[in-house]
A and B are shown apart, each in its own frame.
Chain A
């Protein structure tokens, strides 16, 4: 499912695998894992047992804030829409790495398809089961414990580490992360220089994914027949429009809705489209051209395409108007942030591949689009679990993956904002 290119695998990271002769900072981090392993798994399980569909994350948010405080984060804040932010303060604020994971889970649509209760949070045969295990409560728990590992290691940090547990990710539109970036972090005088998305990557490094957006094709006219014909023609042509990719949902067209407004007949076709090369604006233009062309023979109708705005009401009772739109994003394979991540993980004894999320179903996304495109922050994905299990029955995450993720995330954060441990050898000095 994951897309890798030969070029991306050019460097043999195995060659960089570190010898474990004495104590280095990675040994230290690993040793800090001992003793918190079961705590981390229990915490991830606890999060899974707490239902947290989008906009109903309050219980999880409260628990996350409590645990961050217990683990010694320097500051823990909950913002107006319910995002929880844990901060490890560095020596300066010139650099800040943010690890982001969302607290909400996709809706459980076919519970009968699950072989265990979706909210069981049970560990069986080394695997943690339940909704959100991969997406993204496992990553959330790992991110929080990565912060704890750094705190306990006493390794000095040049910059800040922010663990951001956000709301409303699965709702589309990235309202949680957008509010965090526009309001919460600036109010805390924090500006991330790097971001890590603890979404499922199977502990590889992911550097982008396609986007998706929801459009409303609005057809209006005096004659109901002409409007109905136009809607039918438009729906047919839009079905044929995108090139199909096997296994990838490129487009979804909802059943049209009709009403009468001010004496006009109105038909609305909901269209969801994958965004790759085109952004939502360009895709809007393309859909409009297709729709206008299709409606041309149907009579005297007016066709307009828009990205609808819907009101999202967060668990804190705050509301925001949000477009259901996630832009495609990508960080260059040779971007310094990716290079640095590879170096760090190789030194930590890991062998990550660099790739991208496939996101086979429309509606799946990460906060990367907002971070990279709107805020120009290099982001990469590194988290436990695999995307194939997300938004699906029997979602799970291997426990070892979870533990490795906490260690890897701690190493990555240190790589971005830690003071490099260089020159202190394993010779017993």
Chain B
């Protein structure tokens, strides 16, 4: 059993092959023009016909599936129609997903294309957490609902941490804070493997400040921005989403890892603000969990969690009873491997590849 994981980024497409044991057989980063419609062609050019024949399925990351998609979904006309229906909730990512999936299917007509939705892990987020303090009718009408955007990392990191704890016969990790250290970082509070709180919002605007996104804001600040410069939604997106966050605080483009490490004075403001937001989110997460058994760091900057651990232990040591014991785990797997696993499990469970309609 073999899967091909395809992750299209801004200018490159990462393709990796995994066997049934989730062993990464090969991987490459392919340059492309950024048009989601060309993903299938670019991947097909790289993947020889022999290699494609040996693959049982293609898995591609999908950023948004709302509450409609709670698991991996095979791409077909029905899936595409369902995606079209939820497109207003996330116009850009859903459009990109549809185009990528269609192009992959066109390039590999004999293989199933699985969509791995980052939001599926949060589809069952408790209502008390998913809803806002707004008229429920309005929220239903506009499908306003909080979700998370790094579901696969959270799921895999928590699963790995719990497995390790079980193997080592240490105390059970049932209440976990999962901190995903990606350019747009995210904290999720997870009890018994299910999320009960997440810093993400209806869109990735809400939450911890990211490398270029502002994170939590008082909505009136946005109105002030609009009012001061006759701006529209596009400019708001720019101010708060493209030029905000750590980039704004540091005065120029910067990685989250550099801000966490903070090894020069110019990053101090960004570091202080970001750490404070993280501590608040940690506090909210512990409150949602009713305690804490462990913290797990994941994402491309998971290693930077070692710097965060020091700060967290210091701050939580002041806030929590000394008797509260909690551990820390680091999940350093790449996202492609994280996506390969559920696809392989699915293939194993399904036997032959699911039929496409």
Partner among B9, B98, B243 whose Cβ is within 8 Å of the Cβ of A19: B243
Q: Which of B201-209, B264-272, B345-353 contacts A (4 or more CB under 8 A)?
A: B201-209
- Known contacts A25-B91, A152-B37, A419-B88; decide if A428 and B234 are in contact (CB<8 Å): no
Q: Could you say which residues of chain B place their CB within 8 Å of the CB of A16? A: 229, 231, 235, 238
* Contact digits for B86-117, partner A, Cβ 8 Å, 1 yes 0 no: 01101111111011000000000000000000
Cβ A11 vs Cβ B229 within 8 A: yes
In the assembled complex, the Cα of A343 lies from the Cα of B63 at a distance in Å of 27
* Contact digits for A281-314, partner B, Cβ 8 Å, 1 yes 0 no: 0000000000000000000000000000000000
In the assembled complex, the Cα of A279 lies from the Cα of B328 at a distance in Å of 78
B183 to chain A, nearest CB (A): 4
B340 to chain A, nearest CB (A): 19
Cβ B35 vs Cβ A155 within 8 A: no
Q: Could you say which residues of chain A place their CB within 8 Å of the CB of B99? A: 154
**A241-278: which have CB < 8 Å to B?**
none
In the assembled complex, the Cα of A158 lies from the Cα of B91 at a distance in Å of 11
In the assembled complex, the Cα of A154 lies from the Cα of B92 at a distance in Å of 8
Q: Could you say which residues of chain B place their CB within 8 Å of the CB of A28? A: 35-36, 92, 95-96
Q: Could you say which residues of chain B place their CB within 8 Å of the CB of A415? A: 232, 234
In the assembled complex, the Cα of A424 lies from the Cα of B236 at a distance in Å of 11
B242 within 8 A of A: yes
Q: Which of B163-171, B210-218, B303-311 contacts A (4 or more CB under 8 A)?
A: B210-218
- Look across to chain A and name the residue whose beta carbon is closest to the beta carbon of B236: A422
Cβ A427 vs Cβ B183 within 8 A: yes
A423 within 8 A of B: yes
Cβ A347 vs Cβ B238 within 8 A: yes
**A391-429: which have CB < 8 Å to B?**
415, 418-429
In the assembled complex, the Cα of A212 lies from the Cα of B228 at a distance in Å of 40
* Contact digits for A88-111, partner B, Cβ 8 Å, 1 yes 0 no: 000100000000000000000000
In the assembled complex, the Cα of A16 lies from the Cα of B201 at a distance in Å of 26
Cβ A154 vs Cβ B95 within 8 A: yes
Cβ B234 vs Cβ A424 within 8 A: no
Q: Of A34, A347, A428, which is in contact with the most chain B CB atoms at under 10 Å from its CB?
A: A428
- Look across to chain A and name the residue whose beta carbon is closest to the beta carbon of B211: A427
B255 to chain A, nearest CB (A): 11
Q: Could you say which residues of chain B place their CB within 8 Å of the CB of A1? A: none
B285 within 8 A of A: no
In the assembled complex, the Cα of A155 lies from the Cα of B232 at a distance in Å of 18
A423 to chain B, nearest CB (A): 3
B298 to chain A, nearest CB (A): 14
* Contact digits for B56-77, partner A, Cβ 8 Å, 1 yes 0 no: 0000000100000000000000
Partner among A155, A342, A347, A423 whose Cβ is within 8 Å of the Cβ of B95: A155
Q: Could you say which residues of chain A place their CB within 8 Å of the CB of B331? A: none
In the assembled complex, the Cα of A158 lies from the Cα of B89 at a distance in Å of 12
* Contact digits for B139-169, partner A, Cβ 8 Å, 1 yes 0 no: 0000000000110000000000000000000
Cβ B95 vs Cβ A419 within 8 A: no
A31 within 8 A of B: yes
Cβ B92 vs Cβ A31 within 8 A: no
Q: Could you say which residues of chain A place their CB within 8 Å of the CB of B253? A: 21
Partner among A91, A152, A343 whose Cβ is within 8 Å of the Cβ of B235: A343
In the assembled complex, the Cα of A27 lies from the Cα of B35 at a distance in Å of 9
In the assembled complex, the Cα of A34 lies from the Cα of B36 at a distance in Å of 12
Cβ B92 vs Cβ A24 within 8 A: yes
B245 within 8 A of A: yes
Cβ B241 vs Cβ A423 within 8 A: yes
A20 to chain B, nearest CB (A): 9
Cβ B235 vs Cβ A427 within 8 A: no
Cβ A23 vs Cβ B10 within 8 A: yes
A-B contact pairs, 29 of them (CB 8 A): A15-B229, A21-B253, A23-B34, A24-B92, A31-B35, A155-B91, A346-B234, A348-B234, A415-B232, A419-B87, A419-B91, A420-B233, A420-B234, A421-B92, A421-B233, A422-B203, A422-B205, A423-B202, A423-B237, A424-B92, A425-B210, A425-B242, A427-B182, A427-B183, A427-B184, A427-B210, A428-B9, A429-B118, A429-B204
What would 17 more interface pairs be, CB under 8 Å, given A154-B87, A427-B182? A11-B229, A21-B242, A23-B92, A155-B87, A155-B91, A155-B92, A156-B84, A343-B231, A343-B234, A343-B235, A347-B238, A419-B91, A422-B236, A427-B213, A427-B245, A429-B182, A429-B184
8 A-B pairs closest in CB distance:
A423-B203, A347-B234, A343-B232, A154-B95, A425-B241, A420-B233, A427-B184, A156-B87
